[in-house]
Amino acid sequence: MSKSNKSQKKIVIPCSGIGKAFGSVSREATYLLTEELNPREYRTMCLPLLVVDDEEAIKMMHSSEIFTIDGCPKQCATVSVRKSGGAIKKAILVAKVLAANKDHKPGTVLDIGEGGRLLAQDIVNKITAEEGD
């Protein structure tokens, strides 16, 4: 697999699903990476901007490497990016990451708990390990 183009910004877009704990985990993982662990290389973008065809957001998406994190198999973040013409570097499904780390089960949408925070870290590891960051 080729390494990233270091000059390109990396954008992480979670689904932020509001009905399930996995949606909150997708959000937690995004902020863990973009706010705490590596804000210099990674940032996030409002997913709803793609839903309303915001020109600035779409332009930024086209000039960046995109990582999506989806809470459920409907994969709204991934579908939205694709419908807006974005190329996804990696699409992560929270349930699949949990399957490989079964002890890291999240709590609720309101409080993902320690398990949810560990799961968020697993997701971040999955992104950064493959990127070599």
Sheet order of strands, 65-70 included:
42-44, 10-14, 65-70, 88-93
Closer of 68 and 122 to another protein (Cβ): 68
Among 51, 62, 95, 96, the residue binding another protein under the rule CB under 8 A is 51
Residue 104 three-state SS: coil
Task: Say which DSSP state 72 is in.
Answer: S
Q: Does 23 bind another protein (CB under 8 A)?
A: yes
Q: Closest by alpha carbon to 27, among 47, 8, 41, 9? A: 47
Q: Which is nearer to another protein, 59 or 83 (CB)?
A: 83
The H or E element containing residue 115 is helix 113-131
Q: Which of residues 75-94 bind another protein (CB under 8 A)?
A: 75-77, 79-80, 83
Residue in this structure with the two tokens 């459920």, named with its chain if needed: 72
Exactly one of 21, 25, 33, 44 binds another protein (CB under 8 A); which one?
44
For another protein, the binding residues (CB under 8 A) are 13-19, 23, 27, 30-31, 35, 43-52, 54, 74-77, 79-80, 83, 109-110
